[in-house]
Amino acid sequence: MIGITILGATGTIGLNTLDVLAQHPGRFRVVALTAHRNVELLYQQCVQWRPSYAVLVDDTAAEQLATRLRPVVPEITVLSGVAGLETVARLPEVQMVMAAIVGAAGLLPTLAAAEAGKRVLLANKEALVMSGPLFMAAVERQQAELLPIDSEHNAVFQCLPHSPSTRPADLARQGISRIILTASGGPFRQWSLDRLAQVTPDQACAHPNWKMGRKISVDSATMMNKGLEVIEACWLFSASPQHVDVVLHPQSVIHSLVEYVDGSVLAQLGNPDMRTPIAYALAWPERMSAGVSALDLIKVARLEFEAADWGRFPCLRLAYEAMAAGGTTTAILNAANEVAVAEFLAGRLPFTAIPLLIEATLSQVSGRVVDHLDTILADDAKARAFATEWMANY
10 annotated as ligand-binding: yes
273 interacts with Mg ion by CB under 5 A: no
Closest to ligand NAD by CB, 100 or 134: 100
CA distance 208 to 187: 6
Instruction: Compute the least distance from the CB of residue 60 to Mg ion, in Å.
Output: 33
- DSSP annotation of 76: P
Which of 19, 24, 29, 36 forms a contact with ligand NAD (CB under 6 A)?
Answer: 36
124 annotated as ligand-binding: yes
Residue with the shortest CB distance to Mg ion:
150
220 annotated as ligand-binding: yes
126 annotated as ligand-binding: yes
- Identity of the amino acid at 314: P
Residues 137-166 that bind Mg ion (CB under 5 A): 150-152
Judge residue 72's burial from the number of C-beta atoms within 10 Å of its C-beta, 0-12 exposed, 13-18 middle, 19 or more buried.
exposed
Q: Are 52 and 29 in contact (CB under 8 A)?
A: no
CA distance 55 to 45: 12
Q: 177-207 b/e with 16+ CB inside 10 Å = b?
A: ebbbbbbbbbbbbebeeeebeebebeebbeb
Residues 150-169 that bind ligand NAD (CB under 6 A): 150
Site map for ligand NAD, 320-349, x if CB under 6 A? ------------------------------
260 interacts with ligand NAD by CB under 6 A: no
Q: Are 37 and 84 in contact (CB under 8 A)?
A: no
151 annotated as ligand-binding: yes
Site map for ligand NAD, 98-137, x if CB under 6 A? --xxx--x-----------------xxxx-----------
**Using CB distances below 5 to 8 A depending on partner kind, what does residue 8 bind out of Mg ion, ligand NAD, none?**
ligand NAD
Judge residue 289's burial from the number of C-beta atoms within 10 Å of its C-beta, 0-12 exposed, 13-18 middle, 19 or more buried.
exposed
Instruction: Compute the least distance from the CB of residue 156 to Mg ion, in Å.
Output: 11
Site map for ligand NAD, 201-220, x if CB under 6 A? ---------x-xx-xx----
Indicate the SS3 state at residue 42.
helix
The strand ranges marked E within 138-253 are 145-148, 176-183, 244-248
Closest to ligand NAD by CB, 214 or 368: 214
189 annotated as ligand-binding: no
**Residues linked to residue 147 through DSSP beta bridges, in sequence order:** 121
Q: Are 134 and 107 in contact (CB under 8 A)?
A: no
> Max Cα separation, the chain?
64
293 φ, ψ to 5°? -70, 155
CA distance 278 to 257: 19
Contacts with Mg ion, residue ranges (CB under 5 A): 150-152
Contacts with ligand NAD, residue ranges (CB under 6 A): 8-14, 35-36, 38, 57, 100-102, 105, 123-126, 150, 210, 212-213, 215-216, 274
- Binding site members for NADPH: 10-11, 13, 37-38, 124, 126, 213
- Binding site members: 10-11, 13, 37-38, 124-126, 150-152, 184, 207, 213, 220, 225-226, 229
